[in-house]
């Protein structure tokens, strides 16, 4: 009966048990008294329990937050508030300073291609000055690609995921500017879609500089999708959606 | 200085998990105070809890009950601390404790208050004392239920006991509190401002 009474007081007893308890209560004054007391205690605790424990010491929250912040690896906040690991950002600085530029069109290696584009992805999102309010419509992006490259290309509006947002279209630094670089923000993560003319390549997935990349070719163009490794399977489903022409 | 150098300062922007978890700081602290019965120990317990939670954050499924998850870590941490400290001491096991409580109950005094069960507004000190006088297992259980309003299943998981144990501890804890509080009220009565 102890077990059931507590549950009865809390109103979580099942229908059959409730009838059983109520039948008993109708005959047992001691138990009725007990239920009333338990309810009174419960009301009191709900109302006063926390305040009886006093106020939170000032500064505790700050101290806890600071301690947790110290647990995280040091990171760089780049353009658009993107967090990039300090390692990747440092590597990027070294490479950009060394002006490592290889013509994309002559590169046979998908790894080299992806590495160059991963660098450009990081460079555009981390190092370049940007305008916080910068957005670009699909129409603008397509017009730009037509003007700059002579391409009639449908620009995916969200990059293959519902919460993707188109933010910019750039001429890619590498490959003599022959690659189009479309920048998206997915939640707080940066994703780049590069489109290059020609180069039939088998579909591949790679990881470099903390970024994941998916490479595929279609209709005489090569596509490379690059995003933070933290995106995990999101990036791959975005690539699938784009490949299958979901947009 | 090249323009990009400016951006190498690590920001103090907390991540979403930390932000969400910190909304329960007050609840965790006040529970910790009742567990440890000591404010300094409670602060340490809370910090340890948050550190463990943060390190284990990938094991938390977003959308599920973060409060219950944090309380589980709080209680696990507390149990581990007590286990470490109590190695040399003999601690009463739950069964013994429950028998003692029942024996020490004494006969129920007839209530002076004709409206059975009502408790007048109780002083914080009295409530604190009454809670702290409860044996640990009772105190934990009744706190998680009646103050933090967690479900029986959640409490059973947090305290690592069967649901039946949760329910019987609740009844006994509330009864003991009632006795303690009416006793305290009686001692206060007629003493002027109270």
Instruction: Give the separation between CA A30 and CA A59, rounded to whole angstroms.
Output: 49
pLDDT digits (tens, 9 = 90+) for A43-101: 999 988 888 888 888 889 888 888 887 776 655 555 555 555 555 555 555 554 444 44
Which residues in chain A touch residue B167, judged by CB atoms under 8 angstroms apart? 2-4, 6-7
| Residue A163 DSSP code | T
In a domain, B109, yes or no: yes
Q: Pick from A208, A195, A192: which is nearest to A146 by CA?
A: A195
Is B8 buried (19+), middle (13-18) or exposed (0-12) by CB count in 10 A?
middle
pLDDT digits (tens, 9 = 90+) for B132-146: 999 999 999 999 999
At residue B67, the pLDDT reads: 95
Could you tell me the CATH number of the domain that includes residue B112?
1.10.10.10
- The residues spanned by each domain of chain A are 2-52, 75-243
Which domain-ending residue is among B45, B62, B85? B85
> Do B60 and B125 share a structural domain?
no
Low-confidence ranges of chain A (pLDDT < 70): 72-112, 123-135, 171-178, 199, 208-210, 246-247
> Do B104 and B77 share a structural domain?
no
Q: What is the mean pLDDT of residues B29-52?
A: 93
Which residues in chain B touch residue A77, judged by CB atoms under 8 angstroms apart? 7, 9-11, 13
Instruction: Give the separation between CA B188 and CA B165, rounded to whole angstroms.
Output: 34
Contact call for B55 and A126, based on CB within 8 A: no
Nearest to A60 among B46, B117, B147 (CB): B46
Using pLDDT thresholds of 50, 70 and 90, give the confidence band for residue B108: very low
> Do B113 and B75 share a structural domain?
no
Q: Pick from A244, A128, A246: which is nearest to A192 by CA?
A: A128
Instruction: Confirm or reject contact between A200 and chain B (CB < 8 A).
Output: no
In a domain, B53, yes or no: yes
Which residues in chain B touch residue A69, judged by CB atoms under 8 angstroms apart? 12, 14, 18
What's the token pair of residue B119? 């408790």
Q: What is the mean pLDDT of residues B6-23?
A: 64
Instruction: Give the separation between CA A43 and CA B106, rounded to whole angstroms.
Output: 24
In a domain, B193, yes or no: no
Instruction: Give the separation between CA A11 and CA A4, rounded to whole angstroms.
Output: 10
> Is the ipTM value over 0.90, yes or no?
no
In a domain, B26, yes or no: yes
Task: Write out the residue range of the structural domain in which residue B61 sits.
Answer: 15-85
Which residues in chain B touch residue A68, judged by CB atoms under 8 angstroms apart? 14, 18, 50-51, 54
Instruction: Give the separation between CA B187 and CA B130, rounded to whole angstroms.
Output: 14
Could you tell me the CATH number of the domain that includes residue B25?
1.10.1740.10
> Do B112 and B64 share a structural domain?
no
Which of A:90-149 have CB within 8 Å of B? 93, 126-127, 129
Q: Is B105's pLDDT higher than 70?
A: no
> Do B180 and B128 share a structural domain?
yes
What's the token pair of residue A159? 């990059």
Q: For chain B, what is the domain count?
A: 2
């Amino acid at each position: 009966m102890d077990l059931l009474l507590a549950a009865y007081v809390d109103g979580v007893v099942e229908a059959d048990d409730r009838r059983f308890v109520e039948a008993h209560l109708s005959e047992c004054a001691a138990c009725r008294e007990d239920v009333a007391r338990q309810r009174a205690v419960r009301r009191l605790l709900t109302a006063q329990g926390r305040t009886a424990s006093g106020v939170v010491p000032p500064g505790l929250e700050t101290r806890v937050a600071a301690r947790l912040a110290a647990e995280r690896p040091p990171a760089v906040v780049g353009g658009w508030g993107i967090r990039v690991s300090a390692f990747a950002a440092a590597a990027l600085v070294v490479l950009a300073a060394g002006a490592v530029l290889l013509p994309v069109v002559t590169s046979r290696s998908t790894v080299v291609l992806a590495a160059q584009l991963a660098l450009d992805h990081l460079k555009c999102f981390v190092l370049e000055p940007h305008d916080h309010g910068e957005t670009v419509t699909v129409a603008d992006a397509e017009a730009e690609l037509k003007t700059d490259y002579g391409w009639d290309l449908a620009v995916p509006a969200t990059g293959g995921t519902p919460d993707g947002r188109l933010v910019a279209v750039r001429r890619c630094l590498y490959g003599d500017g022959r690659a189009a670089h479309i920048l998206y923000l997915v939640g707080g993560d940066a994703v780049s879609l590069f489109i290059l003319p020609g180069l039939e390549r088998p579909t591949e997935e790679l990881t470099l500089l903390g970024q994941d990349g998916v490479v595929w070719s279609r209709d005489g163009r090569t596509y490379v999708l690059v995003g933070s490794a933290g995106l995990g399977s999101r990036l791959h489903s975005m690539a699938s959606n784009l490949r299958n022409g979901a947009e | 200085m090249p323009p990009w150098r400016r951006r190498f300062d690590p920001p103090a922007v907390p991540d979403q998990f930390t932000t969400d978890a910190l909304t329960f700081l007050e609840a965790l602290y006040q529970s910790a105070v009742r567990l440890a019965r000591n404010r300094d120990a409670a602060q340490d317990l809370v910090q340890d809890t948050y550190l463990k939670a943060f390190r284990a954050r990938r094991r938390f499924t977003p959308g599920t009950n973060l409060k219950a998850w944090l309380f589980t870590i709080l209680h696990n941490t507390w149990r581990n601390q007590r286990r470490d400290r109590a190695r040399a001491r003999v601690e009463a096991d739950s069964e013994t404790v429950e028998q003692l409580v029942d024996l020490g109950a004494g006969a129920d005094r007839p209530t002076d208050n004709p409206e059975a069960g009502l408790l007048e507004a109780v002083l914080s000190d009295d409530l604190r004392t009454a809670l702290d006088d409860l044996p640990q297992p009772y105190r934990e259980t009744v706190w998680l239920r009646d103050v933090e309003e967690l479900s029986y299943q959640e409490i059973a998981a947090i305290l690592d006991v069967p649901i039946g144990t949760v329910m019987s501890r609740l009844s006994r804890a509330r009864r003991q509190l009632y006795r303690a509080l009416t006793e305290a009220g009686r001692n206060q009565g007629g003493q002027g401002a109270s």
